[in-house]
């Protein structure tokens, strides 16, 4: 893991991430995300996502095609409000988390564990 951190400081040419474990990359990612001076999601966007999640069961019929389209639209509206650099980081983070979830046996984790670990990083205390 120290090699990965050093490569971010010195330049990507010093390490080949293909030979790093998923867990090491995830640990480094958590370190760097925790060091961000501002959260990936501003307080108002955090509140909006929380509102959507809380209201969803009462307002929509989940697991229907139209219900899924509605919530995806609402979530996209919130995510599209992110500054460009935050949007890119969140996009890559979601891609990485999806890959981890697809390889959960190899990385010895579950979707629930990933959610708990990264929720505290993405949703900083307000």
Looking at residues 90-99, what average pLDDT do you find?
88
- Tens digits of residue pLDDT in 36-73: 888 888 889 999 988 888 877 666 665 566 667 788 88
What's the pLDDT band for 25 if we cut at 50, 70, 90? confident
What's the pLDDT band for 109 if we cut at 50, 70, 90? confident
Rounded to a whole number of angstroms, the CA Rg of the chain reads 17
Cα end-to-end distance, the chain, whole Å? 30
Question: Residue 63 has which token pair?
Answer: 């697991």
Distance, CA of 83 to CA of 45 (rounded, Å): 11
Task: Kindly report the pTM of this predicted structure.
Answer: 0.74
Domain range summary for the chain, segments of one domain joined by +: 1-35, 41-123
Say how many C-beta atoms besides its own lie within 10 A of residue 23's C-beta: 14
């Amino acid at each position: 893991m120290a090699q990965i951190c050093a490569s971010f400081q010195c330049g990507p040419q010093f390490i080949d991430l293909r030979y790093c474990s998923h867990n090491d990359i995830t640990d480094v990612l958590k370190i760097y995300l925790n060091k961000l001076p501002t959260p990936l999601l501003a307080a108002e966007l955090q509140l909006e996502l929380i509102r959507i999640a809380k209201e969803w069961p009462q307002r929509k019929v989940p697991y229907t095609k139209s219900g899924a389209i509605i919530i995806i639209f609402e979530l996209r509206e919130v995510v599209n409000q992110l500054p460009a650099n935050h949007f890119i980081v969140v996009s890559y983070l979601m891609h990485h988390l999806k890959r981890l979830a697809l390889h959960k046996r190899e990385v010895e984790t579950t979707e629930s564990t990933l959610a708990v670990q990264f929720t505290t990083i993405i949703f900083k205390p307000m």
